[in-house]
Amino acid sequence: MLKNQVGIVTGASRGIGKAIAYKLAEKGMKLALVGSSDDIHNVEAEMKEKGFDQVKGYQVDVSEEKSVDAMVSTVINGFGGVDVLVNNAGMGFFKLVEDTTVEEWRRVFDVNVQGVFLCSKAVLPHMKGKKAGTIITISSDVGRYTIANGSAYTATKYAVQGFSGSLAQEVREYGIRVGTVNPGMVDSYFNNSEQGVEDKKDWLKGEDIAEAVAYMASAPKHMLIDEIVVHPLVQNYPIA
């Protein structure tokens, strides 16, 4: 289903994004790997060493419109189009409201919300033109409930949910599908933590989220999966 399709994965330098890139490459996709640092070129080289030849790394700040537009244009010209966009780039921190600076608030919104907006906006003319495409955003389970000390991060994920829902309604007539994957606790580098430590051994792994993305992206064209919520068994997830 995904073989020879073209995908863009943001935040692909490590953690969940890197796992998603590997999973989609295993499915036979051609991939643009997007990261904010030059580490993304190391991921490109690593994947090519493992036989995934149809990958290309791009160092891009997803909050910068000109950089995003240039990257998408280059991908379309180089790969011949874009079939799947995975908005994975994100950041987060946990602080009391009164301890959160305006700069921190702006930056988390720039990456988590503006990045999703800009990348989605950039691929839409192409997807509308061919009347097909899938846009998947890695959101969070806190896009459905709230947590203490997480006002900025939680607010961005509520924004992402609202944006994705509205966009899905706008583009449905063009055959474009928009959905979110909302993970709970994932063993990753989130909030400057370490991946693979003992305390996270029972948490979700990046590969679990990658499987959800592949499932959503490979659904039959008549099927829209609005969202997937996945969390580890050890997490006390509030259903309502």
Per-residue pLDDT of 144-175, as tens digits, reads 888 899 999 999 999 999 999 999 999 999 99
Tell which residue, 213, 156, 170, has the closest CA to residue 9. Answer: 213
Residues 6+ apart with CB under 8 A from 14: 39, 43, 189, 195
Asked whether the predicted pLDDT for residue 191 surpasses 70, the reply is no
In order of 79, 87, 111, the CA distances from 174 in angstroms are: 22, 20, 27
Please pick, among 22, 145, 153, 237, the residue that the annotation labels catalytic: 153
* Each residue's pLDDT tens digit, 32-90: 999 999 999 999 999 999 999 999 999 999 999 999 999 999 999 999 999 999 999 99
* Each residue's pLDDT tens digit, 104-122: 999 999 999 999 999 999 9
pTM of the entire predicted model: 0.94
Both tokens of 189, joined, read 């580098």
Q: How far apart are CA 126 and CA 121, in angstroms?
A: 10
Domains of the chain: 6-230 (3.40.50.720)
Three-state DSSP state, 100: coil
pLDDT for 197 = 76
pLDDT for 79 = 97
Q: How far apart are CA 46 and CA 57, in angstroms?
A: 11
Active site residue 153: yes
